[in-house]
A and B are shown apart, each in its own frame.
Chain A
Amino acid sequence: MRLPCPYCGVRDAHEFSYLGDAAPRRPDPAAPDAADAFHDYVYLRDNPAGAIRELWYHGAGCRRWIVVDRDTRTHAIAGATFASGSASGDAS
């Protein structure tokens, strides 16, 4: 598999580490339901057959966390963005 790192370009999947679904957001730790929310955040994942946005880490490259749009059925990759949300490749 090859992943389009927004900073490095298209690179072999061996350069990346996989984390999983990018959708869960770390909950507010001060919220009254924090315990339940964190349980869901840590343990519950959808397992879609189809499009998913997922987190990969380019450890053998620019060391950026990126969000990859992938289809789990075909491994077709529609694109990738920085997980930090910044549009450019400039980490600073």
Chain B
Amino acid sequence: MSRLSEGGLIDRSKPLAFSFDGKAMRGYAGDTLASALLANDVRLVGRSFKYHRPRGIFSSGSEEPNALVELRDGARREPNSRATVVELYDGLSAASQNRWPSLDFDIQSVNGLLGPLLGAGFYYKTFMWPAALWEKLYEPLIRRAAGLGRAAEAPDPDSYDRSFAFCDLLVIGGGAAGLMAALTAGRSGARVILADEDFRFGGRILAERAEIDDAPSLAFVERAVAELAALPNVRLLPRTTVFGAYDGGTFGALERVADHLPLPPAFTPRQRYWKIVAKRSLLCAGAIDRPIVFGGNDRPGVMSAQALRTYAVRYAANPGKRAVVFANNGYAWSAAFDAAEAGVDIAAIVDVRPEAPPIQLERAKRRGVRVIQGGQVVATSGRLLSSVTVRSATGEEKIAAEVLAISGGSSPNVGLTSHFGGKPVYRADIAGFVPGACPPGMRVAGAARGDYSLARCLAAGAAEAAEAVSELGFSAYATPVPQARDNAITVTPFWHVPGSRGPAFVDLQNDVTAKDITIAHTEGFRAVELLKRYTTLGMATDQGRTSNVTGLAMMAVLTGQDVGATGTTLFRPPYTPVALGAIAGHHRGKDFRATRPTPTHDWARAQGAVFVEAGLWLRAQYFPRPGETDWLETVNREVTATRTGVGLIDVSTFGKIDIQGPDAGAFLDRVYINTFSTLPVGRARYGVMLREDGIVMDDGTTSRLGERHYLMTTTTANAAKVYQHLEFCLQVLWPELDVQMASVSEQWAQISIAGPQARAVLEQVVDGLDVSNAALPYMGVAQGTVLSGVAARIFRVSFSGELGYEIAVPARQGRRLAEALMAAGAPFGITPYGTEALGVMRIEKGHVSGNELNGQTSARDLGLGRMASTKKDYVGRVLSQRPAFLEEGRVSFVGFKPVNPGDRLRAGAHFLPHGRSGTTANDEGYMTSVAFSPLLGHWIGLGLIARGTERIGESVRAYDPVRGGDIPVEICHPAFVDPEGERLRV
């Protein structure tokens, strides 16, 4: 065990068992998986993406490029989990990834065959080779060799939640600056959300030995968190990563609610996806250490200086027996001193600067730490790091060490500031990029702005928060800023050790080397965006947080430009990876969309109905009976029963729009092709409406219930679209019309009964209403009551072609009405039918439906052109008269029957003249709807074919190459049943 004997923010009274690659280990509450692995002497954690090189743990945060593991097992297996941010829990199991056959012995790495194939530009160069080779040889080879973890194959058993939050100030990051900001804003009364990706607030303070107000800095954190937790206007969101900044002050955040537990507790999601709307935001996301590039810098044991300090101080985990620190800045020195204080054996501090600041030298001397000034690490050795070779003025020297802690300077976490395209700006004095233009309303404080001093982080957090909430009208009274002392930190830009030995990695996660940067330069891919795509620098899951700046600085050296002019690539959301499951939330499986049952749903289910999704609704598709062997048998029975007796179907799903006002009739005249202002009260009329481009939008019957009162019905699928269109017409096109509208689709249950016995059934449910043919003729509308006092509207309309009535009652009475009609119809053998039988009957009758109103057809195409009034204007009129719509060769709507009555028709088949090949040039149209007609005893179809109405009786090929169909069909009139409509009028 490499657990330091004391210290750390771990709870030694709470040991936790976990396993890595099947081996049992122990850690403590407060550990991350990475700190626990290090404390268990695990230094080799994974294999690299392309070259399968052994890798260890590089960082202690979410920027980790190396230590990606598979977490959990089975359906919960989660690939590419960064061990550095995985909070340890009892029973955690993790496995290394991208290795074969084992982590210790990996064949891909040993043979190294693919190395030459995978260098800079390999995507482009490899594609240049013969395509056959690529597909058969290289791609499978590369796919097997390169990769990350394996996704779980079973459905995720956990749930994911979504929440919305609103605040005045969102503080992103709960370190020194963030805590002071939240305190300042919170005390002013502003609504504050403080989010931190860590499971513990405090940021750098957790890992640095510092004093605030002459007391250990942790005491400040505890006080601040306690005060914030007690403020009712402050919401603390630990374990929450703000991953994206979006328009209008909207932020995406991911809260890991139960990732730190073996299983989510009951009624608790694993993760919660927050949409936070903030009037102002303050980014206090800190900064990270970036590496220096030299040969052998990827060996397990090489880590950032910040990581060494964090593991030693925060987790009391010693990453290795002896540590060498290699840096170009003073911050790494204090990291070394903190680690030494915690118990790490620091063999030497190697600084590239010929002269380190005297105060640092003095501190090193006091602690007895050896210092090599003007030194560079030129090589490392050991499969796991065992020694480093340092070159200095006195020559080369090999120093035994298991840890090499490196720091090439700090990179502020500017990610979120560039989500709106703001380009980070280079500051030479800190050798780092700081935020440029920020998203509206965003400020930055502390290390994220390049301000690394603890004292200034505290002050800036308070000051920025005070300004932000003052802008919103809150008075932020002067919060006393706690005092901290720290020394000025200096940094000398240094990126790459020239002449070092062995592969030198820039991007550890995507295995991009210094040589790749050189190749990109040689081959002309010098602009940062080209460099990125050519080498894949920064394109891995970590978005190059530890590699971008170094990579582009090296390019700057090669091109002779300065780093600032070279610029940097932009970060995009998400800041860290977000699981798709969290974004989907509850919207998966059956909950992908809301289920809308009809008013008679439960009744239909009790009748054994099979349901189908129709638009947003769930409708009864058919009602199988015992002994029926397939759906067609059932549907045939339902159709026959309706045509010979009486059938019943719930048609509540049709859109219903209540339209009232003095100008209601005039309004309808403008949206329908036919006229409604002349419709008598108590009558219904079939109407067709167009889009302004002349294509049919929708159809349905509209009834006149009163002088100024109409009720429109729309198709099920277009209900919302038509309503929106009508509102557009009313508000945008003709606001002068005095009309009011409301959607009443959900308010009314509507049940259709159809068949020769329909009237006999209806008579038994109405409260003394005369529904005789004379009193309520075809297309008549009556209002009254049914079932002893239930308000009802009765429409004598028919989709099936039989004598039919649609009875509308308040939605809650729907089931009662269905049951009453079933009881009344029992002597006539009333039969409930579903959408299939309805479809068969409408095809037999030759009515158009969704398949024909397909966004390509005009009213004329569908044989409805004669309905169009020539005495008025209406939406779509002008453009429906375009020459192409009136062309002679245009398709028209007709029926089709198989020449050989046994042949089955297929919707989607295309029509060809006999003797012509199946090419687009010979295409004459297509079949839109088909059904088996029990009445006729064979399949029938509807479709669109060129000059169809002139070709009744002609035979053509119905060609269906997808399903291997090619049969002769005869063009016929689309109404197969009762073309004169006599049955409707009895």
Contact = CB atoms under 8 A, between A and B. Distances in A.
B693 interface: yes
Contacts of B732: 55, 65, 83-84
Given A29-B873, A42-B879, A76 B440 contact: yes
Contact of B882 (A30, A35, A75, A84): A35
Nearest to B875: A26
A41 B248 CA distance: 31
Contact of A59 (B246, B720, B731): B720
B246 A29 contact: no
Interface in A49-82: 55, 57, 59, 63-65, 74-77, 82
Contacts of A83: 731-732, 735
B153 interface: no
A41 B740 CA distance: 26
B311 to A, nearest CB: 43
B692 A42 contact: yes
Contact of B692 (A17, A41, A57, A84): A41
Most buried by B among A35, A41, A76, A84: A84
A50 B395 CA distance: 62
Contacts of B735: 83-86
A63 to B, nearest CB: 6
A82 B727 CA distance: 12
A2 interface: yes
B248 A77 contact: yes
A86 B735 CA distance: 9
Contacts of A35: 878-879, 881-882
A38 B879 contact: yes
Contacts of B877: 29
B571 to A, nearest CB: 18
B250 interface: yes
Nearest to A22: B732
A44 B732 CA distance: 18
Interface in B366-398: none
Interface residues of B, number: 25
Contacts of B246: 1
Interface string B384-424: 00000000000000000000000000000000000010000
A interface residue count range (under 10 / 10 to 19 / 20 to 34 / 35 or more): 20 to 34
A1 B420 CA distance: 13
A65 B692 contact: no
A79 to B, nearest CB: 14
A42 B882 CA distance: 13
A34 B720 CA distance: 30
Interface string B276-310: 01000000000000000000000000000000000
B692 A38 contact: yes
A67 to B, nearest CB: 9
Given A35-B882, A38-B879, A42-B879, A57 B250 contact: no
A76 B439 CA distance: 11
A19 interface: yes
Interface in A1-30: 1-2, 10, 12-13, 17, 19, 26, 29-30
B495 to A, nearest CB: 35
B266 interface: no
B724 A57 contact: yes
Contacts of B878: 29, 34-35, 38
Interface in B714-770: 720, 724, 727-728, 731-733, 735, 740
Contacts of A84: 731-732, 735
A19 B720 CA distance: 15
A63 B877 CA distance: 26
B247 interface: yes
Contact of B247 (A30, A41, A75): A75
Contact of B724 (A1, A59, A76, A91): A59
A41 B692 CA distance: 9
B581 interface: no
Contacts of A34: 878
Contacts of B693: 42-43
Nearest to A67: B732
B249 interface: yes
A80 to B, nearest CB: 13
B163 to A, nearest CB: 13
Contacts of B733: 26
B906 to A, nearest CB: 35
Nearest to A77: B248
A35 to B, nearest CB: 6
Interface string B232-256: 0000000000000011111000000
B731 A39 contact: no
Contacts of A26: 692, 733
A65 B728 contact: yes
A29 B882 CA distance: 14
Contacts of A13: 247-248
Nearest to B743: A63
Nearest to A17: B724
Interface in B263-282: 277
A83 B246 CA distance: 27
A28 B420 CA distance: 43
A65 B277 contact: no
Interface in B439-454: 440
Contacts of A64: 727, 731
B881 A2 contact: no
A42 to B, nearest CB: 5
A28 to B, nearest CB: 9
A64 B727 CA distance: 8
A30 B692 contact: no
A86 B733 CA distance: 13
A74 B619 CA distance: 45
A46 to B, nearest CB: 18
Nearest to A86: B735
A40 B295 CA distance: 65
B879 A30 contact: no
A13 B420 CA distance: 18
B250 A2 contact: yes
Nearest to A57: B724
A74 B878 CA distance: 38
Nearest to A66: B731
B879 A2 contact: no
Nearest to A64: B731
Contacts of B882: 35
A30 B728 contact: no
Contacts of A12: 250, 277
B1 to A, nearest CB: 52
Most buried by A among B248, B693, B720, B873: B248
B671 to A, nearest CB: 13
A58 to B, nearest CB: 10
Contact of A2 (B277, B692, B740, B873): B277
B727 A65 contact: yes
Interface in B870-898: 873, 877-879, 881-882
B890 to A, nearest CB: 18
A84 B727 CA distance: 10
A82 B728 CA distance: 11
Interface in B308-357: none
B352 to A, nearest CB: 43
Contact of B727 (A1, A2, A63): A63
Contacts of A74: 420
A20 to B, nearest CB: 12
6 contacts: A19-B728, A35-B878, A39-B879, A41-B692, A42-B692, A57-B728
Given A2-B248, A43-B693, 11 more contacts: A2-B277, A12-B277, A29-B873, A35-B881, A57-B724, A57-B727, A65-B732, A76-B440, A83-B731, A83-B732, A85-B735
Interface of A: 1-2, 10, 12-13, 17, 19, 26, 29-30, 34-35, 38-39, 41-43, 55, 57, 59, 63-65, 74-77, 82-86, 91-92
Q: Closest 9 A-B residue pairs measured CB to CB?
A: A2-B248, A84-B735, A1-B247, A29-B873, A38-B878, A84-B731, A75-B247, A65-B731, A83-B732
